[in-house]
Structure 1
Amino acid sequence: MTDAYVALEGERVVEARCRSPGKTNGELVFTTAYTGYEESLTDPSYEEQLLTFSYPLIGNYGVREERFESDRVQPNGALAREFTDDVAEWLESEDAPAVDHLDTRDIVTEIRDNGAMKCGIAAGPDVTEEDALEQLRECKHMSDHTDIGAQVSVAEPEVHNADGDGKTVALVDCGAKGSIISSLVERDAVVHVLPYDADADDVAAVDPDLLFISNGPGDPENFEAAGEVVDTYVGDVPIAGICLGQQVVANALGGETEKMEFGHRGVNQPVRDLRTDRVVMTTQNHGYTVAEPGENLEVTQVNVNDDTPEGLENEDLGIITRQYHPEANPGPNDSLDFFDDVLALAE
């Protein structure tokens, strides 16, 4: 019996099975990761999106809280060919609508052909196709979520590893994954996590050795405060950024960003270093990219598949950014030395 419907942009409706009831909408995207569903579902960069898993079986090694990247499920909803009961029960406990028993190959192909799209989901007893279509009509474009940072950032400053002997990091939390903080703490850094709308005075109060702009969801142009902080401290304090952080830094230094057709999401994205010609496999989750780095940043790494910038640097200004996630979680771990490199900037 059909008890769930997925309405795609263009108003095509797909039947499915309810695994976690509810009505929701968001930008429909997909990840190619075979594993790491716990990390993906708790990644703040998926805020206001509906996450489709291209791998057919999700949940075959259970659900363990120690793998979470944040304290809650972040996507508005989830789709899979099949969710195990463990994952379905977890999603229901988090009030995150979820559906399965649909052809995710067809969904992924449509996203690849037509780009990330608006989508509505209605799942549960007595729902109708019209319920899903109504959700679709209410869905907003990602760029219209102008204050999305407030949904994923800390409300008040936090300090991690306060007694550490390493460098002091001011991390502007635009939706930071927990493993970014952990990667810095493992290197004995004292990490001050600041809200996404922190200003220059908030950073000055930390007196950092390094300014770090985190990953996060949505359009980088909606993170104006983070860009202003970068503009204030560039040349005075070393600056690092991951994912959205790279885009924010580029915009602040005169570059340009743009929305991608369907983005990069998965753990199998190849990146080539232009100086060494070495290729590493990376974890990625982003729907925007740097279109023009501007005069102040050099592109040092590119995506092998489409040549989009994956690394930007300026040695004189002490800037290193990455579009992918060096902290991985889920892997691969090819790029963990990024954190050693950025902390070395503060020496």
Structure 2
Amino acid sequence: MKPSVLLVDNHDSFTYNLAGILEESGLCKLKVCFNDQLRMGMMKSCDKILFSPGPGIPKEYPQMREIIERFGASKSILGICLGHQAIVESLGGSLFRLNKVMHGSRQQIQLSEPLDPLFLGLPKRFHVGLYHSWAANPSNLPSSLHVTVTGRDGIIMGISHDSMDLKGLQFHPESYMTEYGHKMISNWLKSK
């Protein structure tokens, strides 16, 4: 049976790319909802939740924190860019502002957890598209999170929770600049 996915739209144009990948995969039943129109009851009918990218910083989107706190232990949640940052902050970590804004940049990243289900079948290094000016602070990353991907200069590009199905990607798998982006989304949809 196909999992039902709720794509939380943080008012970002990249949400359309994510929705397209999800629909084209044929691996899920998709519902898209703007973050400010969410009702917590919607979470009960979905199997997986995908937080889209968005402008600003996570504290401007309290809905993501509430979803993580209430449903992180029972739902599979993947956060992209802003969503990744929301997972970090919700669990007690912090962000820092990058010296150089990474909007429309392409960079090679390295998997530190190649056996993570999200990265099955991927090479250890590949290129990704970056669109962010904030990143997870490695000095106080919550102990429940481990780094799955790093970028140049050691920037955290991916995280996974030790006991819950919470994953975050700082880069954009939906960007045309990202290699294997569709594969990562497909892997997430297929994971239990």
User: Could you state the TM-score of these two structures normalised by the residue count of structure 1?
Assistant: 0.48
Aligned residue among 184, 193, 201 for 2:41? 201
SS at match of 1:232: helix
The question of 1:231 aligning with 2:69 is answered yes
1:41-67: CA deviation from partner (whole Å, max 9, x where unpaired): xxxxxxxxxxxxxxxxxxxxxxxxxxx
1:180 aligns with 2:26: no
Match for 2:175 among 314, 321, 328? 328
Structure 1 match to 2:134: 288
| CA–CA distance in structure 2, aligned partners of residues 262 and 222 of structure 1 | 22
Q: Percent identity?
A: 21
Gaps in structure 2 of 5+ consecutive residues: 115-122
Equivalences for residues 1-347 of structure 1 within 5 A: 166-176=2-12, 177=14, 178-188=16-26, 189-197=28-36, 198-204=38-44, 207-276=45-114, 278-291=124-137, 292-304=140-152, 306-314=153-161, 316-329=163-176, 331-345=177-191, 347=192
**Mapped contact 2:145–2:162 kept (Cα < 8 A):** no
Query: How big is each residue's C-alpha offset from its partner over 1:184-204, in whole Å with a ceiling of 9 and x where there is no partner?
Result: 111222221122132422323
Shift of 1:267: 4.3
Give ranges in structure 1 of 5+ residues lacking alignment: 1-164
Query: Does the CA contact (< 8 Å) of 1:267 and 1:281 recur in 2?
Result: no
Separation (CA, whole Å) in 2 of partners of 1:221 and 1:193:
21
Any conservation in 1 of the 2:172–2:178 contact (CA below 8 Å)?
Answer: no
CA positional deviation for 1:309: 0.6
| Alignment RMSD | 1.9
Instruction: State the shift of 1:287 in Å.
Output: 1.0
Change (3 A) 1:211 1:332: closer
2:126/2:179 contact within 8 Å kept? no
Which string of whole-angstrom CA distances, capped at 9 and with x for unpartnered residues, describes residues 107-159 of structure 1?
A: xxxxxxxxxxxxxxxxxxxxxxxxxxxxxxxxxxxxxxxxxxxxxxxxxxxxx
Instruction: Identify which of structures 1 and 2 has the higher relative contact order when contacts are C-alpha pairs closer than 8 Å and 6+ apart.
Output: 2
Contact residue 199 and residue 229 of structure 1 kept, 8 A: no
Distance 2:144 2:33 in 1: 26
Give the 3-state SS of the residue equivalent to 2:127 in structure 1.
Answer: strand
Contact 1:199–1:228, Cα closer than 8 Å, also in 2: no
Aligned length: 178
Write the distance in 1 (CA, Å) between the matches of 2:52 and 2:17.
11
CA distance in 1, matches of 2:90, 2:178: 30
Instruction: Flag the 1:319–1:279 CA change in 2: closer, same or farther, 3 A.
Output: same
- Once the two structures are superposed, what CA deviation does each residue of 1:186-228 show, in whole Å capped at 9, x if it has no partner? 1222221122132422323xx1110111100111221112111
Higher helix share: 2
TM-score, scaled relative to structure 2:
0.84
